Structure 1
C-alpha cells in the first residue's frame, strides 16, 4: 500500500483547521498511506481533533427498541427480511424498558441515549410512543437523545423535535454508487430525504457509514465528502461485523491500520463534526482502539443492535489510560459520582 504524498499530513491538517477540505487525490492518499506513515497521519489528525474537541470523549448508549421484523433487504443487517441470522425479534419496547435503558445509559456515564428501531420507517403510533417516552427521559435524566427510526415523514420529525429529541441518526452507510449493491428496498435519495426532513424540523443530524462491505476507496471518499456537504453534527463509523445468516456474511479484510486510515479520512474531511468509533471497533481495531481516540472523539459504551460490545469497564480504562476526559450528562459532575456510575454500570449497562 504505497502513496506518493506531495504534502505532509501536517499540511493537510493545517488546511482542515482553516476550513479547507483535502482534494480528492489527497483523500485517496490518506486511505492508501503506507503502514509506516499511519502514526504521523494519526498525529496530524489529533491536532484537528484537539482544536475542536480538546481531550474530551463523549459516550453513547444504544438501545435496540425494536428488533427484526424488517421489510428492508440491507445486505449487512442481521434484521433484514432475507436474513437467517439467529437474533431476537420483538416489536417496539414499552416505556418501562426504554426508561430502563435510559437509566443504564446514565449509569454508564453516557451523555447520549440512542433509541434505534428496525423497519423501513415508524408508524405514527410508534412515533407517539417514542415521543412520550423521550419527554420522560428528559424530565428524569436530562440525557441527550438521538433516535434512529428509519425513513421519517415531516410531521413525524416535528413531533419528535417537540418531544425533545435532539438528533436523528440516519446513516448513508455507503456511497450513492455502491448503495444498489447492498440494498434494493430503498434508495440513496431516500436517505438524503430523511436527513433533510430531520434538519428542517430543527434536529441535529447524525449520519455515517459502514466500512468493509466491499466498497472501494473512492466510495469511502464519496461518503466523506457528502457528509461534509450535509454538515452533519455527528459521524459514526462502523466496521462491518460478519454475522452468520446476513447476506453479507464476511467483510473486506480490514486491519486495524485500515480502520485508522478510514477514521483519519473522515476527521480531515469533517474536522468540526463529532467522529465516533461505532460497531465493529472491538473486532477490527482490536488493540488499537485507544489509538483511534486520537482521531475520533466519541464511542459507544454498550452493546450494538444484535451484537455485543466489550465491557464498559474496558472502555473506561482506555479513556483513563489516555488521560482523556469524559463529557458527562448534564447535571452529572465528573468527580465522586464517576465511581458510583461505573459501579452501577457493571450491573445495569447491559440491560
Structure 2
C-alpha cells in the first residue's frame, strides 16, 4: 500500500512535489484511492476549510470559431450538433447572470468563442461587466474571450472585471497534437497579459485527450510557473463531430487521481472541478469535493450539466458549505508570501543569492 501522508505534509508546507512523486500519484492503484483522497483532504481542509465556491458560465457567443482545437465542439469544421449564436443581447446576459447568482454562484464567467476579441468586442462587453458589478455586489466577474491583444486586459480591468481565464490545456510538447492554429506560447502570453493588468489569473487543463502521465505533470508544472489564483480541471467531453470523438479513456478513479495531483501542486490555490465532471466522475463527484474547493454550477458552454439543485444538495450531503459572495476565496496565509525586502542592496544584510 502506498503512503501519501509525506506528500500531504509537503503540500502543507507549500513545497512543490517532484515529478517522480506526481507520477506515483497518477499511477497509483484504485485500492489506494481512498488513502490518497484522505491525505489530500488534509491540505484542502487546511487552506479552504469546508467551503465550496460556485461559479456560473454564461456563453455569450457560441460556435463558429476559426480555431481548430481538436477537443472543442465550437471548432472550425465541427459537426457537433450544438447551439450556435452571435453575441447575446445585454438583457439576455443580465438574465443569465442573475439566474446563476440566485442559485448561489459567487463568480460569473463570461465566455465567448473565437480566437480572441476585437477591441470592439471588448468595448461591447465593458458596460455589461460594469452592470454586473453594480447589480450584484460582491460577485466576481471572470472574462474568457480567447487570446488577448495589447491593452485589452487593461480595458477589461477598467470595466470592473476581476479575473481572466485562459487554459493551457496540456503540455507544451504535446500542444501541436490538439491545435494547429495557435501555439502554447500564445496561451502563456495571454495569461501573463491578464496578470500584468491586475486581473486574477485563471488557467487550467483538460484531461482525457490521450495524454500521458508525463504530459499531465508537464502541464501542472507549466501552470505552476504562471502562478494562477484558480486552476480549473476539465475532463474531455468527446463530442461526435470533433477529432476526439469516441475518446473515453477516463474512469472516476483516474479523475480523482488527476485532481489530487493538481491539489498537491496547488495546495493554497482555488482548484475548480470543471467541464465533464458529471460524465466522468459520475457517482464519485462528492469524493472530489474532498480535493477541490470550487466547481461550475449547472450547464457548460455547449453541454448540459447536473441541475443546480442537485449540485447544492450534493455539497450539503457531503458535509460542505457554499461560499457566499464577497467572501475571500484564497486563504489568508497566502498573503504571508508577500514580504517587503529587508536584505540586500540598501540594507546592512547580505542579499538572498
**What TM-score, normalized to structure 2?**
0.91
Structure 1 counterpart of 2:298, from 288, 302, 305: 302
Gaps of 5+ in 2: 328-353
**Within 1, Cα distance between the matches of 2:85 and 2:190?**
24
**Within 1, Cα distance between the matches of 2:225 and 2:246?**
31
Following TM superposition, by how much is the alpha carbon of 1:250 offset from its aligned partner in structure 2, in angstroms? Answer: 2.2
Contact residue 75 and residue 182 of structure 1 kept, 8 A: yes
Structure 2 counterpart of 1:234, from 225, 230, 237: 230
1:13-162 alignment runs, 5 A limit: 13-142=8-137, 143-162=139-158
Pair 1:172 & 2:191 matched: no
Following TM superposition, by how much is the alpha carbon of 1:78 offset from its aligned partner in structure 2, in angstroms? Answer: 0.6
SS of equivalent residue, structure 1 residue 38: helix
Following TM superposition, by how much is the alpha carbon of 1:154 offset from its aligned partner in structure 2, in angstroms? Answer: 2.7
Contact residue 278 and residue 285 of structure 2 kept, 8 A: yes
Task: List structure 1 segments (4+ residues) > 6 angstroms apart after TM superposition.
Answer: none
SS of equivalent residue, structure 2 residue 271: strand
Give the paired residue count: 326
SS of equivalent residue, structure 2 residue 151: helix
Contact residue 154 and residue 201 of structure 1 kept, 8 A: no
**Within 2, Cα distance between the matches of 1:129 and 1:94?**
10
Structure 1 counterpart of 2:202, from 201, 206, 214: 206
1:241-297, Cα deviation, whole Å (9 max, x unpaired): 121111110224211000000000000011111111111100000000000000001
Contact residue 117 and residue 149 of structure 1 kept, 8 A: yes
Contact residue 82 and residue 247 of structure 1 kept, 8 A: no
Pair 1:287 & 2:286 matched: no
**Within 1, Cα distance between the matches of 2:247 and 2:95?**
34
**Within 2, Cα distance between the matches of 1:200 and 1:22?**
27
Q: Over aligned residue pairs, what C-alpha RMSD do you find? A: 1.1
**Within 1, Cα distance between the matches of 2:213 and 2:97?**
37
Contact residue 238 and residue 248 of structure 2 kept, 8 A: no
SS of equivalent residue, structure 1 residue 213: coil
Pair 1:181 & 2:172 matched: no
**Within 2, Cα distance between the matches of 1:179 and 1:27?**
21
Pair 1:194 & 2:190 matched: yes
**Within 1, Cα distance between the matches of 2:161 and 2:247?**
33
1:99-155, Cα deviation, whole Å (9 max, x unpaired): 111101111100000000000001111101111100000001122011100001231
SS of equivalent residue, structure 1 residue 304: coil
**Within 2, Cα distance between the matches of 1:161 and 1:55?**
30
1:220 aligned residue: 216
**Within 1, Cα distance between the matches of 2:100 and 2:248?**
32
Gaps of 5+ in 1: 332-351
**Within 1, Cα distance between the matches of 2:224 and 2:40?**
16
**Within 1, Cα distance between the matches of 2:22 and 2:188?**
23
SS of equivalent residue, structure 1 residue 154: coil
SS of equivalent residue, structure 1 residue 116: strand
Contact residue 28 and residue 218 of structure 1 kept, 8 A: yes
